[in-house]
Structure 1
Amino acid sequence: MRSELDDGVVGADALQGIVWQVWTAYPGGTPPAGPPPADACAGPFDVTAGVSIAGAWNGHVLLRCRADGAAAIAAAMLEMPAGSVRPEDVVDAAGELMNIIAGNVKSLLPQPSVVALPQVVLGEADVVCPGSTASCELRTAFEQWPVHLSVLEVPASRAG
């Protein structure tokens, strides 16, 4: 669960706490028991959801997972059978999940900061956030599906 990148504003322990709260409160899941094996979060990922934050701190919060994990999260959040989840349900649930996670991350950041609308990419994609560096990474899981979360910081000299 811990990350090698833990010197930013948001540390792995804080990010793990946010995930624990979200997993138990919103999708109706159980808290992650521990990180999945490293190779489980090694991609390729079918779903990438991200939210940008700007203000006194600038950066992005990204979630990456596989389609089956995203469908399980959507089914839990939307209280529907996993077999009836459509791509638009995955987009809605991933976007809402990222709003919740990014809002919690924002609460730990210097203020004022604002959260942008979520962006969700379905399908294997190389999502790039130019000028950013990984501040914190967390390998976790929703039920048995691996999830990779990243907090990327854009240095003040590159923001704006």
Structure 2
Amino acid sequence: MDEANAGTGEHLTPEQLHGLIWQVWTAYLGVGPQIGAAPDRDPNHAEITASVCIAGAWLGHVVLRSGLGAAAGIAAAMLDLDPDGVKPDDIQDATGELTNIMAGNVKSLLPQPSHLALPQVVVGRASILWPGTRLLGRAEVAWNDHTVTIEVLHGDTPRL
């Protein structure tokens, strides 16, 4: 972040986002991921979308999008399961929790007080929109032949 916007949540550098992703992936999935710029593609390609809203002094969302294979890999690693034994509920729980952990780490960079909502997980290709938001940061995470996109969206502060 530049000095003028430090602590305002207006900027999230790629380095900050990549660092948070690396910390979470290594701590919770036990692997060091490859992290890079995500291609600008239709977000509706995802087979699973998990999001957590951050509200308070800062408003926005952390969003995880992936295919079902990647989501099953997340569930197997987080829940210490055999990849062949992963069930749909495991996938939803693990992707929601991983997104929640990412959101908590993003929140640590934001103005306080800010609070996390419960994770929301949508399974299936769907047009999921967050009106009144703009993309603050996006990264693509690759590991074990899987790819996941992490996005941070900044919401407009409501005018009263």
State the TM-score, normalized to the length of structure 1.
Answer: 0.86
1:41 and 1:85 map into 2 onto residues whose CA distance is 27
1:37 and 1:12 map into 2 onto residues whose CA distance is 11
2:33 is equivalent to residue 15 of structure 1: no
1:3-49 alpha-carbon deviations (Å, 9 max, x no partner): xxxx94322211111110111110122x2234388489976110100
1:57 and 1:36 map into 2 onto residues whose CA distance is 24
Identity %: 46
Partner of residue 124, structure 1: 125
**Unaligned ranges ≥5, structure 1:** 1-6
SS in 2 for 1:9: coil
**Unaligned ranges ≥5, structure 2:** 1-8
Q: What pairs with 1:14-33 in structure 2 (closer than 5 Å)?
A: 14-29=16-31, 31-33=32-34
- What is the deviation of 1:95? 1.1
Label 1:34 to 1:51 Cα distance change in 2 as closer, same or farther (>3 A).
closer
Segments of 4+ in structure 1 off by > 4 A? 39-43
1:68-120 alpha-carbon deviations (Å, 9 max, x no partner): 00001100101011111111000110111011100000000011100000001
Q: What pairs with 1:52-63 in structure 2 (closer than 5 Å)?
A: 52-63=53-64
RMSD, aligned CA = 2.2
